[in-house]
Amino acid sequence: MKDSLREALAQIERHFRFSLAVGDAERQKVFALRYQVYCREFQFEREEDCPGGLETDAFDDNAVHCLLEHRSSGLVAGCVRMVLPAMDSSCTLDALPLERHCHQSLSHGSLHPGRLPRQSVCEISRLAVAGFFRRRQGEDKSLVGDIDSIVLSPAAMRTAPVMGLSLFLAATVMVGMAGRHHVFAMMERRLVRLLSRSGFGFHRVGEFVDYHGQRAAYYIDQTQVVAGMHQSMRDLYGSIEAQIHPYFVTLARDAGMGSCLTPRPERDGHARSSSLHQSA
């Protein structure tokens, strides 16, 4: 199992690249994929609420967006975001999405985003994998556009089952760079089981509700994930870290993100001196 996981993740590293959406063109790629998956395929959101074929919400401006692309074709394969609540309590975006939409379902006494320091919490959400990469090779319909002329190698297609896992690895990297180790997410049982088998020990902190399907709020401590990470995942984790680090620095230095992200000095022997955190 571990050998097969290691090989699948090695194929992800070989055939796909990770980046952060630092410009409008990259952000539109993220929003277009979300439109295809969340609106067209699963009907979680209404198409008429997404003008221009872009699925967005009020939290996107307070989020860091990760993009997964197929190296040789340039196809967008997946995305995920990390939402950082505004530090100003008078701001309408001082709550996480799950606090805004599912607050009544949050039932844990202590693992509650409202009972933890705001500068240490975040939410991972809007994870999406393009339909083409979730289908068997040879099917002729796709939600990512005209791909009839694109042929992916069998090795690249075998990465499909672990694409969601690789995006959660990317989210784990982003959380570490942002210093937001208290992580929340609304997830379905199937995804939780997959992540649990891979060493992500999520704790359910809310009741199941109908929110993009039957989902519940889960919590995980990012520092514990990294400390206990399977060796089979560490190579890809390090590769993702190296790939997205320059983008994170760019976001931190951008005027629009200046109030949210600031460089953090090197600590505990970590090689990346510009690891980032959310300023209080």
Q: Is residue 275 part of a domain?
A: no
Q: Is residue 274 part of a domain?
A: no
pLDDT by position in tens, the chain (length 280): 567 788 888 889 999 999 999 999 999 999 999 999 999 998 888 888 899 999 999 999 999 999 999 999 999 999 999 999 875 554 545 789 999 999 899 999 899 999 999 999 999 999 999 988 876 443 333 333 333 333 445 554 455 568 889 999 999 999 999 999 999 999 999 889 888 888 899 999 999 999 888 999 999 999 999 999 988 899 999 999 999 999 999 988 874 444 455 444 333 434 343 334 443 3
Query: What's the total number of domains in the chain?
Result: 1
Structure tokens at 131: 């339909």
Contact residues for 190 (Cβ-Cβ < 8 A; gap 6+):
none
Q: Provide long-range contacts, Cβ within 8 A and 24+ apart, for 112-117.
A: 112/205, 113/85, 113/182, 113/184, 116/182, 117/182
Q: Which domain holds residue 107?
A: 2-261
Q: Is 166 left (phi over 0), alpha (psi -120 to 50) or beta?
A: alpha
Q: Is residue 272 part of a domain?
A: no
Q: Could you tell me the end-to-end alpha-carbon distance of the chain, in angstroms, rounded to an integer?
A: 42
Which pLDDT value is given to residue 261?
Answer: 55
Which pLDDT value is given to residue 262?
Answer: 47
CA pair distance 242, 89, nearest whole angstrom: 34
Q: Which phi and psi angles does 216 have, rounded to 5°? A: -135, 160
Q: Is residue 101 part of a domain?
A: yes
- CATH value at residue 166: 3.40.630.30
Q: Which phi and psi angles does 13 have, rounded to 5°? A: -60, -35
Give the β-pairing of 16-20 and 203-204.
unpaired
Structure tokens at 142: 């796709």
Q: Is 186 in contact with 215 (CB distance < 8 Å)?
A: yes
CA pair distance 222, 33, nearest whole angstrom: 27
Neighbours of 165 (CB within 10 A): 23
Q: Is residue 13 part of a domain?
A: yes
Which pLDDT value is given to residue 53?
Answer: 94
Which pLDDT value is given to residue 16?
Answer: 95
